């Protein structure tokens, strides 16, 4: 008898399709308004972009010293080595040093050997994800700065491949 009652009982109806469409449209308008408002707020908080320096005619004063700073890059030989863990994982890196003036060949070779030795101590879990990459880059930069007595401004990772 319970089965017969279940078959004859009317099914509960949800809200009508018109109400659902109206709610969807209302929520869409609210989301668009919030997005526009957040964008307008962030744009108002953003500092005005500096205007580019005007070029001076020949014979006028020289440009400020800050704009005349030229940095050079010096490529290191590729680093190919296995990692500390897992030992069957190999890494290949192409690096460049960002400098004020080019370094002597001996200093570049010492930096290369130091970074190679460092990469042999790195474990895979230490360099996973974006934060791991940032930590690796910071470690490489710190070691290069120490080895060059502070002459290296930054280490640029051109390629990084794990196999």
Per-residue pLDDT of the chain (163 residues; tens, 9 = 90+): 555 555 666 666 778 999 999 999 999 999 999 999 999 998 888 766 566 655 554 444 554 555 567 899 999 999 999 999 999 999 999 999 999 999 999 999 999 999 999 999 999 999 999 999 999 999 999 999 999 999 999 999 999 999 9
Residues 160, 91: contact at Cβ < 8 Å? yes
**Model pTM above 0.85:** no
- What integer pLDDT is reported at residue 13 of this predicted model? 77
- What integer pLDDT is reported at residue 6 of this predicted model? 56
* Residue 151 tokens, joined: 């002459």
Going by C-alpha positions, the residue among 161, 159, 18 that lies closest to residue 76 is 159
Tokens 């949800």 -> residue: 14
Q: How far is CA 118 from CA 29, 83, 114, 150, in A?
A: 55, 10, 6, 18
Can you list the domains of the chain with their CATH numbers?
A: 70-162 (3.30.479.30)
- What integer pLDDT is reported at residue 43 of this predicted model? 87
């Amino acid at each position: 008898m319970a089965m017969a009652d279940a078959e004859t009982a009317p099914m509960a109806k949800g809200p009508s399709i018109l109400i659902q469409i109206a709610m969807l449209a209302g929520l869409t308008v609210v989301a668009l308004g919030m997005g526009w408002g957040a964008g307008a707020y962030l744009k108002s908080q953003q500092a005005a972009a500096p205007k580019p320096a005007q070029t001076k005619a020949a014979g006028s004063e020289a440009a400020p010293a800050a704009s005349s700073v030229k940095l050079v890059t010096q490529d290191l030989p590729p680093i190919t080595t296995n990692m500390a863990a897992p030992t069957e994982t190999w890494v290949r890196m192409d690096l460049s040093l960002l400098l004020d003036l080019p370094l002597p060949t001996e200093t570049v070779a010492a930096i290369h050997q130091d970074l190679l030795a460092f990469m042999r101590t790195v474990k895979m879990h230490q360099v996973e994800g974006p934060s791991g990459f940032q930590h690796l880059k910071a470690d490489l930069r710190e070691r290069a700065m120490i080895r060059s007595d502070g002459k290296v401004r930054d280490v640029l990772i051109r390629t990084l491949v794990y196999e």
